[in-house]
Structure 1
Amino acid sequence: MGTAVRPASTTPASWDAFSDVEAFVEEVLIELTAMAADGSRPTRSGPKPELTGAVLRKAIMAIWCVAFCGMQWRAIGQLSAIPFGTLYALFARWTRLGLWRRLLGRLRRTWRLACGDVAEPSAVVIDSRSCPSAPSCFARGVDGGKKIRGIKIQLAVEKYNLPLAIDASPANVHDTKGIVPVLRQLAEQGFQGPAIGDLGYRGNRLAKVGDGLGITIQPIARGRNGVFIPTEIAWVVERSFSWLSRYRRLNTIVERTKEHLVAFVEIAFISILSRRLQRLAPKQVNA
């Protein structure tokens, strides 16, 4: 557990999410096919047939545009010529079936293997980010330290900045309480190891909760005299949150359910990983 992080080589390219949005669409289609094959995506009953072909691709791209551009469902429905109710129902159904969580897990393991690492991490980094939220959001509180009225997004990421567990809570919930659902998600996935966080995660109560789940909470100082110190791998979660800030749907939270907010966080990381895996540099073969 050191500070060295050596990601796989990718072909150089300027950051442009729209240039590689097709990679996101392809990965979602692959996962939908896999879910239909193993029975985790049952056939939808109703008078209208399921979307297929070019219309399905357009719907997936519309959901991505909601996440990246922060568009309203009604607006993207007008632009895509697909009823916004159909788009929202499709997003809600896929969220309920666990599509985004399943796809993100597969891409994360694929990226770790491409980096020459094992599929599952031995340590994670935990942290939270306070975001302003609309009055219609599922929860709202005031973060007194950051003077933000909204919610907190809780993350547990591995050394390549990719999340293993995501949760959200009102911004006035203390980090030691808000991170508990994340720790439970980690335990359900079979993670056993250290969870590194800042000094906000100190306390015997949280330590006991972690011990009961087989997770060791390791609070460490990440700053001194107002200067950030990249201690061990604790700094990687800050880059994860900076990536999320590029997705406008996650800057001011308007979701009416926590599950939909978590889904948009997962969509953001799926988009990042899809582009990255598409640009993997081919391995050189020795003559």
Structure 2
Amino acid sequence: MGTAVRPASTTSASWDTFWDADAFVDEVLSELTAMAADGSRPTRSGPKPALTGAALRNAIMAIWCVCFCGMQWRAIGQLTGIPFGTLYTLFARWTRLGLWRRLLDRLCRTWRMACGDTAEPSTVVIDSRTCPSAPSCFARGVDGGKKIRGVKVSIAVEKYGLPLAIDAMPANVHDTKGIVPVLRQLAGRGFQGPAIGDLGYRGERLAKAAEALGITVRPIARGRDGVFIPTEIAWVVERSFSWISRYRRLNTIVERTKEHLVAFVEVAFISILSRRLKRLTPQEVSA
């Protein structure tokens, strides 16, 4: 059976989409301020002044709407009154500067500590999700098992289902090859320990590649006779994929670069974590 996971206590308010949006905007603004203070967000010079105040909040909200609602950049530009080129350029620039990854890492550490855990996990769970993609997408392949032409997103999550590493590739890439860049990202952030996956991650080549990075891949059976079995904490990655399935931009992939697809996955998890942290009870916050 699965290992019990004690989440942080949150208020009993029902889920509201705009809780996600408002909390997301506040966290992004905080991170932008921190990046400007430490010099990782250089000041951009140009003929037009940078967005500030309400206009900047509207731009961040627009990026969230693109991810959650699956809207086109031109459509959200018409609704906000901000040129779609400005919105897309902001998103691309922040992606290039690493804003989303940096913010997601900070929120993950904060949530783990609110749950009474250490900031860094000792075990991760790996898996992949195949999504259909448009012909204009950065890559395309056919997943023979799922009969889907599109893109495969591989992630590594900790026991609360929060991603530590994300990568994307054509759907025809086998899991044992597609997970290697994810393992490299884990090793780059200092992770050393077991990575639990399903039986698709068996193989001597993957085991040797992971061992060279200081990671032990543990393939385990997560089903029997067509019935899913919540073995250890392996089930949490399936829950993570169900969370981001709410975000329509991630159901049919149209991104022209892999970096932008990974960024939208990070935006989705930032949105989820921002709402959770905003709803923490006063006892958890003071702790």
TM-score for both structures, normalised by structure 2:
0.98
Once the two structures are superposed, residues 140-192 of structure 1 have per-residue CA deviations (whole angstroms, 9 ceiling, x without a partner) of: 00001101000000000000000000000100000000000000000000000
What is the CA–CA distance in structure 1 between the aligned matches of 2:138 and 2:57, rounded to whole Å?
Answer: 30
What is the CA–CA distance in structure 1 between the aligned matches of 2:20 and 2:239, rounded to whole Å?
Answer: 21
What is the CA–CA distance in structure 2 between the aligned matches of 1:63 and 1:94, rounded to whole Å?
Answer: 11
Residue pairs, 1:100-115, within 5 angstroms: 100-115=100-115
Tell me which moved more, 131-140 or 275-284: 275-284
2:276 is matched with which residue?
276
What is the CA–CA distance in structure 1 between the aligned matches of 2:9 and 2:236, rounded to whole Å?
Answer: 18
Aligned-partner SS, 2:283: coil
Work out whether residues 138 and 258 of structure 2, in 8 Å CA contact, stay in contact via their aligned partners in 1.
yes
What is the CA–CA distance in structure 1 between the aligned matches of 2:121 and 2:159, rounded to whole Å?
Answer: 8
1:4 is matched with which residue?
4
Overall identity of the aligned pairs, in % = 85
Aligned-partner SS, 1:208: helix
1:47: Cα distance to partner?
0.9
Aligned-partner SS, 1:217: strand
Once the two structures are superposed, residues 105-136 of structure 1 have per-residue CA deviations (whole angstroms, 9 ceiling, x without a partner) of: 00000000000000000000000000000000
What is the CA–CA distance in structure 2 between the aligned matches of 1:107 and 1:125, rounded to whole Å?
Answer: 19
- Is the counterpart of residue 27 in structure 1 residue 27 in structure 2? yes
Q: Match for 2:91: what amino acid?
A: F
1:229 is matched with which residue?
229
What is the CA–CA distance in structure 1 between the aligned matches of 2:25 and 2:223, rounded to whole Å?
Answer: 40
Aligned-partner SS, 1:135: coil
Aligned-partner SS, 2:119: coil
2:253 is matched with which residue?
253
Work out whether residues 20 and 272 of structure 2, in 8 Å CA contact, stay in contact via their aligned partners in 1.
no
1:202 is matched with which residue?
202
1:56 is matched with which residue?
56
Aligned-partner SS, 1:196: strand
What is the CA–CA distance in structure 1 between the aligned matches of 2:138 and 2:228, rounded to whole Å?
Answer: 33
1:117 is matched with which residue?
117
What is the CA–CA distance in structure 2 between the aligned matches of 1:74 and 1:245, rounded to whole Å?
Answer: 23
1:264: Cα distance to partner?
0.2
What is the CA–CA distance in structure 1 between the aligned matches of 2:141 and 2:270, rounded to whole Å?
Answer: 28
1:15: Cα distance to partner?
2.0
Once the two structures are superposed, residues 190-244 of structure 1 have per-residue CA deviations (whole angstroms, 9 ceiling, x without a partner) of: 0000000000000000000000000000000000000000000000000000001
Q: CA RMSD in A?
A: 1.1
- Is the counterpart of residue 180 in structure 1 residue 174 in structure 2? no
Runs of 4+ in 1 over 6 A off after TM superposition: none
What is the CA–CA distance in structure 1 between the aligned matches of 2:208 and 2:62, rounded to whole Å?
Answer: 44
What is the CA–CA distance in structure 2 between the aligned matches of 1:220 and 1:164, rounded to whole Å?
Answer: 21
> Which structure 1 segments of 5+ residues have no match?
none
2:65 is matched with which residue?
65
What is the CA–CA distance in structure 2 between the aligned matches of 1:184 and 1:266, rounded to whole Å?
Answer: 18
**How many aligned positions are there?**
284
What is the CA–CA distance in structure 1 between the aligned matches of 2:220 and 2:22, rounded to whole Å?
Answer: 41
2:39 is matched with which residue?
39
What is the CA–CA distance in structure 2 between the aligned matches of 1:49 and 1:13, rounded to whole Å?
Answer: 40
1:19: Cα distance to partner?
3.3
TM-score for both structures, normalised by structure 1:
0.98
2:91 is matched with which residue?
91
Q: Match for 1:227: what amino acid?
A: V
What is the CA–CA distance in structure 2 between the aligned matches of 1:193 and 1:79, rounded to whole Å?
Answer: 47
> Which structure 2 segments of 5+ residues have no match?
none
What is the CA–CA distance in structure 2 between the aligned matches of 1:15 and 1:264, rounded to whole Å?
Answer: 21
Aligned-partner SS, 2:253: coil
1:49: Cα distance to partner?
1.0
Aligned-partner SS, 1:95: helix
What is the CA–CA distance in structure 2 between the aligned matches of 1:156 and 1:22, rounded to whole Å?
Answer: 27
1:20: Cα distance to partner?
3.7
